[in-house]
Amino acid sequence: MANNEHIMSTYASASVTFESGKGAVLTDTNGKEYLDALSGIAVCGLGHAHPAVAKAISEQANKLLHTSNLYQIKNQQLLADKLCEHSGLDRVFFSNSGAEANEAAIKLARLYGHKKNIDVPTIIVMENSFHGRTMATLTATGSRKVQAGFEPLVQGFVRAPYNDIEAVKNIAKNNSNIVAVMVEPVQGESGVRIPDADYLNKLRELCDQKDWLLILDEIQTGMGRTGEWFAFQHNKIKPDVMTLAKALGNGVPIGACLATEKAASVMKPGNHGSTFGGNPLACAAGLAVINTMESEQLVNKARDMGAYLLNALQKELSHVEGVRDVRGLGLMLGIELKQPCTELFSQALEQGLLIAIQSETIIRLLPPLILSKEQADTIVQKITLLVTNLLQQKAA
Ligand SMILES: *Cc1c(COP(=O)(O)O)cnc(C)c1O
């Protein structure tokens, strides 16, 4: 029997092992089925074992896996074309993860600053943000839990409260080293925190005034998750830089840092790189994901199913004593309780439902974009029961 004996203990994993999946359903090694309302943390947007992705990967594996970026890679060019078409941005750097995509964005911002003769280029980042686990990205992350024990942290970041444009303006007054603002359109890891509808517009305006780069971390919100291809499209603005990963490969590791021509032009050969980044296999997966999202209209489906799910959850839970808030944007949903509810993770698993708990009190749902209405109803039914049972127990 396999066990964790030789696995470095960075995760307190549940004891379940999944063996296969189909769409939004997973099957464990005992044959028990689960409804996946988490999608491997916003990764498997097309669900599990999607035939188009499986076909693209296996066909590519039979042709060519890897050649390095020392040579042209056709799939990489095709995927970059698609990403630029849907985002309105101009250039793409491919990485293997979200943290690496953010590293590229941070390095780009520093080059941009040095080009303007700013010696200590500094990026404004937000409280409660999450940007990854590498040294620079954990420094950018607004969580002491993520940083503790890894000091010394990286220089060149200052922090502002999220959804507070005045705080960012105040930093601007006192700090002439600022080169960029890096922000999630909706904060995912800290519990689906949705800012005011015009927050990104105000940041865009300020960045324009100051000639700062607006860097959007869309690693979780991108690829249709919020009911637009990218969350910034709700605001009808365009960032200078945007990072993607998670759902881009539907489970094949791939990340991307996109930029406008102006921002990207600071990058020259030799400035940055990645051995694996954008290899033929990963880009074949990315292309299959985008082609499927287009042909199956998954962005519209995410918007509609998200609205349906939010409405149904609000109907069941908003009025319940002990529930602070039920919120969502597309298929990124949060149910915030007035008390800790970490035990709901394993209770839901027991009931055949995969969910996540963030910041101890917030249930986070990230179901696949292919979720059916019946599956959405099942999620609502199970969550309602779990939450009301928990609140009754605690009240008793
Ligand atoms: C998951 C996530 C990351 C980190 O991505 P990894 O692939 O785990 O490095 C960064 N930013 C956001 C917003 C994320 O959700």
Summarize pLDDT for 362-381 with one digit per residue, the tens. Answer: 999 999 999 999 999 999 99
Summarize pLDDT for 204-243 with one digit per residue, the tens. Answer: 999 999 999 999 999 999 999 999 999 999 999 999 999 9
Contacts 24+ apart (CB under 8 A), 113-119: 113/177, 113/179, 113/180, 115/266, 116/179, 116/211, 118/176, 118/177, 118/179, 119/177
Whether residue 265 sits in one domain with residue 175: yes
Residue in this structure with the two tokens 């009931």, named with its chain if needed: 351
Number of domains in the chain: 2
3-state SS assignment for residue 91: strand
- Residue 93 backbone dihedrals phi, psi, to 5 degrees: -110, 130
In the predicted model, is pLDDT for residue 21 greater than 70? Answer: yes
Per-residue pLDDT, averaged over 275-282, amounts to 98
In short, whether 251's Cβ falls inside 6 Å of ligand 1 is: no
- Residue 260 backbone dihedrals phi, psi, to 5 degrees: -70, 165
The pTM (predicted TM-score) of the whole model is 0.98
pLDDT band at residue 395, thresholds of 50, 70 and 90? confident
Ligand 1 pocket test target in 129, 141, 220, 225 with most atoms within 8 Å of CB:
220
Per-residue pLDDT, averaged over 301-317, amounts to 98
In short, whether 43's Cβ falls inside 6 Å of ligand 1 is: no
Contact at 8 Å (CB) between 150 and 163? no
In short, whether 299's Cβ falls inside 6 Å of ligand 1 is: no
In short, whether 218's Cβ falls inside 6 Å of ligand 1 is: no
Whether residue 223 sits in one domain with residue 355: no
Ligand 1 centroid to residue 283 C-alpha, Å? 19
Per-residue pLDDT, averaged over 304-325, amounts to 98
CATH number at 240 reads 3.40.640.10
Closest CA to 298 of 370, 249, 232: 370
Is 217 marked active-site?
A: yes
Is 236 marked active-site?
A: no
CATH number at 327 reads 3.90.1150.10
In the predicted model, is pLDDT for residue 394 greater than 80? Answer: no
Ligand 1 atom with least separation from CA of 133: 9
Full domain range(s) for residue 360: 18-47+297-395
In the predicted model, is pLDDT for residue 3 greater than 90? Answer: no
Summarize pLDDT for 40-75 with one digit per residue, the tens. Answer: 999 999 999 999 999 999 999 999 999 999 999 999
What's the mean per-residue pLDDT of the chain? 97
What is the structure's pLDDT at 1? 62
In short, whether 130's Cβ falls inside 6 Å of ligand 1 is: yes
Whether residue 271 sits in one domain with residue 181: yes
Which of 272, 295, 318 is the last residue in one of the domains?
295
Ligand 1 atom with least separation from CA of 220: 15
Which of 295, 318, 350 is the last residue in one of the domains?
295
Ligand 1 centroid to residue 395 C-alpha, Å? 36
In the predicted model, is pLDDT for residue 2 greater than 90? Answer: no
In short, whether 220's Cβ falls inside 6 Å of ligand 1 is: yes
Catalytic residue among 82, 157, 232, 246: 246
CA dihedral 115→120→124→130, nearest 10 degrees, is 100
